[in-house]
Amino acid sequence: MLLTVSAAAVAVPPALAGEPAGGAGAESAGDRLFPSLGNGGYDAGSYDVQFDYRPSTPKVNATVTMRATAKQDLSRFSLGAAGQDIKSVSEQGARAEFSTSGEKLTITPKNPVRKGRTFTVRTDCRADRSRNLPGSFWEYWVPTKDGFALMGRPDRAHLFFPANDHPSDKARFTFRISTPKNLRAVANGFLISRRTAGDRTTYTFRTRHPIPTRVGQVAVGKYREVEQRGPHGLPIRSYVPADQYTQLKPVVSRTPAQVAWLEKEIGRPFPFEVYGMLAVKSPYNGVALETATRSTFSSSMLNRPAEQAEPVMAHELVHQYFGDAVSVRSWDDMWISEGHAHYYQIRYEVDRGFRQRPRGRATR
Ligand SMILES: [Zn+2]
């Protein structure tokens, strides 16, 4: 990402009194910069997120199923959840008690979950695209004329769906997005199915590898696909606004060459099963985000001259290695991903002749 966001410390909610046997998972991942983020006691393995997009309303009916492994006996545990109307929660198919407070959804399963057990939690809720929390740097539910996109970084993925929203707990994602059939949904990973029934189409995307919640991607709108191949046959699947296809196709078509360049620089193959670009007609010109497997850009930024657009493309590509495939355990270490992204961005600018080679004392 190419903008810095200041984060105010938030108090960690105190543990509730009168603990039943089994114990409660912590209500924090213990992060110094974002103490209210994340939850303890379990390790999320996968999320299955269903969104029902209706243009006529900002409300989005959602069903979110998290599969996780208990790291301790759990009589109670929490997920990050903000701005959603929670309708019901079940654990292993049995209705579970729940309560919400601040940005936490606290769940009491019918029977305590034993340490080492894998369990599933299903939450039926209604998210709200018009709800962007006070003090927001921008709108995380990014509105577009024909749909929306998500910009959850750094700490707002749990505005979209209940999750253990901390980069130390990566998970695989399946997104099932239902839209009017004249629109198209885009999300992380590969499109594994597209089914139309009546006037609705459901797009299912899935990631093969675990990714942090903050780089989840969902967008709906009138998009057109640009299909390419990268090094070693890596599939490149980019999406651009349909009415900007002619202008933007040559820009996103730089992607395979960029991946090949970066693989050579880093000496490692691209870490995911697919890559691509998503160009969004967002009001945030210049904002770009390293959404895993497919980076998100404002289309106006990509329409800038090559010496401005391509370095940003390279920057988000580097983040696929540093930040997405390898994520930070603590937000204090954000420099590890941003430092590498900036470093290789500058090397790219020099290689492309967009910037003069920095002159300094030679070192051995
Ligand atoms: Zn960055």
pLDDT in tens, 167-185: 999 999 999 999 999 999 9
| Residue 8's pLDDT band (cuts 50, 70, 90) | very low
DSSP annotation of 280 reads: E
Q: How far is ligand 1, taken at its centre, from the CA of residue 157, in Å? A: 17
Antiparallel, parallel or unpaired: β 42-52 and 172-180: parallel
CA gap 136, 233 in Å, rounded: 40
Q: How far is ligand 1, taken at its centre, from the CA of residue 195, in Å? A: 35
What pLDDT score does 361 carry?
61
- Provide the number of structural domains found in the chain: 2
Q: How far is ligand 1, taken at its centre, from the CA of residue 194, in Å? A: 32
Q: How far is ligand 1, taken at its centre, from the CA of residue 317, in Å? A: 9
Q: Is 217 in the same domain as 227? A: no
Q: Is 127 in the same domain as 175? A: yes
Q: Is 208 in the same domain as 230? A: no
Question: What is residue 53's three-state secondary structure?
Answer: coil
For the segment 273-297, what is each residue's pLDDT rounded down to a tens digit?
999 999 999 888 778 999 999 999 9
Average pLDDT over residues 15-42: 83
| Residue 118's pLDDT band (cuts 50, 70, 90) | very high
Q: What residues contact residue 71 under an 8 Å CB cut-off, 6+ apart?
A: 40, 41, 42, 43, 115
What pLDDT score does 195 carry?
98
64 pLDDT higher than 50: yes
Q: Is 175 in the same domain as 290? A: no
Pick the closest to residue 195 from 179, 208, 206 (CA basis): 179
Residue 5 lies in a domain: no
Q: Is 209 in the same domain as 288? A: no
Can you give the CATH number for the domain in which 28 is found?
2.60.40.1730
Residue 116 lies in a domain: yes
For the segment 72-81, what is each residue's pLDDT rounded down to a tens digit?
999 999 999 9
**Domain coverage including residue 260:** 223-364
Q: Is 210 in the same domain as 330? A: no
Average pLDDT over residues 197-223: 98
Phi, psi of 271 (to 5 degrees): -80, -10
Strands lying side by side in the sheet with 190-197: 94-95, 85-91, 118-128, 59-70, 42-52, 172-180, 200-206, 190-197
For the segment 155-165, what is each residue's pLDDT rounded down to a tens digit?
999 999 999 99
What pLDDT score does 358 carry?
73
Residue with tokens 């409660």: 24
pLDDT-wise least confident of 21-30, 71-80, 116-125: 21-30
For the segment 128-154, what is each residue's pLDDT rounded down to a tens digit?
999 876 666 678 999 999 999 998 888
Can you give the CATH number for the domain in which 292 is found?
1.10.390.10
What pLDDT score does 70 carry?
98
The average confidence (pLDDT) of the chain is: 92
Q: Is 174 in the same domain as 263? A: no
Average pLDDT over residues 56-75: 97
Structure tokens at 77: 């545990």
Q: How far is ligand 1, taken at its centre, from the CA of residue 236, in Å? A: 21
Q: Is 170 in the same domain as 233? A: no
Q: Is 274 in the same domain as 347? A: yes
Q: Is 297 in the same domain as 323? A: yes
What pLDDT score does 137 carry?
64
Q: Is 216 in the same domain as 228? A: no
What pLDDT score does 274 carry?
98
Q: Where are the alpha helices (DSSP H) in the chain?
A: 245-252, 255-266, 299-302, 306-321, 334-351
Q: Is 327 in the same domain as 356? A: yes
Q: Where are the alpha helices (DSSP H) in 214-325?
A: 245-252, 255-266, 299-302, 306-321
